[in-house]
């Protein structure tokens, strides 16, 4: 290795497990320690835009490496010439598990049974099967493929939609044709000018009556007012791990909307995060030191 890399980490400190696998000689610096004048890698603390702004204004950074798959929050702060890489792959497993959990919970009416349990009601009902359902994946990156791997054993037909056409993969231009045919739509898109508000009134009106909408991407991809209307009319049911606004205020009508299951942006939070992040970061820094191409370089906003 011909270079040494200094890595500025976030504060409060990430667990040592995250950088235990880094190549020998890599210097780890934390944000609650004196900042260096230059840093090869900066791992910005997710959602702490002001901290990230200060670092990028005061430290000459070569690579900004997020541990989140989404980078919409850091893009406006990026100085010219800095390489941005996202954390795609780190969160595939837990987000895919959240999608499977939520899809089954909605399909089997778990919220309804919880309510009946709380009221002491014995309320049997005939439940639909997941087998044979058609699920549209709106976003077909590494998380989308992980979702597909977990749903296919249930006998689900997957219809993947991505930005660019390729064999077996649809594009957004196909949505008017696809939406009336599917039983569930899983939103896995990043937030970009093109995706903001993509799931709007027209989109929801094209969905099959009673279809399910799951959002594990970014809240503003879904038009909240349009979703509230569709939920209120009973045209769709939804599971949301992300919302717009976020955090969702206590008095927001989404909390009380019929047919909606809400979790507080936890799909990617898992006990295995540090282990997966450590493997990813060790590989990424090793590539940098060896002069090899970096993984997950952000182009065109994601």
Catalytic residues: 218, 246, 265
**Torsion region of 131: left, alpha or beta (phi above 0 gives left; psi -120 to 50 gives alpha):** beta
6 DSSP β-pair partners: 27
Task: Kindly report the number of other CB atoms within 10 A of residue 291's CB atom.
Answer: 9
Task: Kindly report the number of other CB atoms within 10 A of residue 47's CB atom.
Answer: 12
Burial 219-255 (b: 16+ CB within 10 A, else e): bbbbbbebbbbbbeeebbbbbbbbbbeeebeeeeebe
Largest CA distance in the chain: 69
**CB under 8 Å to 5, separation ≥6 — which residues?**
26, 27, 40, 41, 285, 288, 289
How many angstroms separate the CA atoms of 249 and 66, rounded?
A: 27
How many angstroms separate the CA atoms of 75 and 66, rounded?
A: 11
Residue of 177, 80, 87, 75 whose CA lies nearest to 136:
177
- Helix/strand/coil for 156: coil
Estimate the share of the chain in helix, then strand, then coil, as percent rounded to the nearest 5.
35, 20, 45
Q: What is the CA radius of gyration of the chain?
A: 21
How many angstroms separate the CA atoms of 233 and 231, rounded?
A: 5
């Amino acid at each position: 290795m011909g270079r040494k890399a200094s890595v500025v980490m976030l504060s409060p400190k990430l667990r040592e497990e995250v950088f235990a696998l880094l190549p020998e000689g890599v210097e780890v610096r934390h944000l609650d320690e004196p900042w260096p004048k230059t840093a090869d890698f900066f791992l910005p603390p997710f959602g702490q835009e002001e901290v990230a702004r200060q670092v990028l204004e005061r430290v000459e950074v070569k690579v900004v490496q997020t541990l989140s798959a989404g980078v919409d929050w850091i893009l406006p702060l990026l100085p010219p010439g800095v390489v941005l890489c996202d954390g795609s792959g780190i969160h595939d497993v837990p987000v895919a598990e959240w999608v499977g959990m939520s899809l089954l919970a909605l399909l089997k009416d778990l919220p309804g049974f919880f309510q009946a349990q709380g009221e002491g009601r014995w309320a049997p009902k005939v439940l639909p099967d997941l087998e044979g359902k058609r699920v549209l994946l709106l976003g077909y990156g590494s998380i989308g493929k992980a979702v597909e791997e977990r749903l296919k054993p249930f006998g689900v037909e997957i219809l993947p939609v991505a930005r660019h056409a390729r064999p077996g993969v649809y594009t957004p231009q196909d949505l008017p044709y696809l939406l009336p045919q599917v039983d569930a739509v899983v939103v896995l898109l990043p937030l970009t000018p093109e995706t903001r508000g993509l799931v709007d009134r027209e989109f929801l009106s094209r969905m099959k009556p009673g279809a399910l909408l799951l959002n594990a991407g970014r809240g503003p991809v879904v038009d909240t007012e349009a979703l509230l209307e569709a939920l209120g009319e009973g045209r769709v049911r939804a599971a949301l791990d992300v919302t717009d606004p976020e955090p969702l205020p206590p008095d927001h009508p989404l909390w009380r909307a019929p047919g909606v299951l809400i979790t507080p942006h936890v799909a990617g939070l898992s006990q295995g995060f540090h282990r997966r992040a450590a493997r990813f970061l060790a590989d990424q820094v090793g590539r940098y030191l060896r002069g090899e191409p970096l993984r997950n370089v952000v182009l065109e906003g994601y």
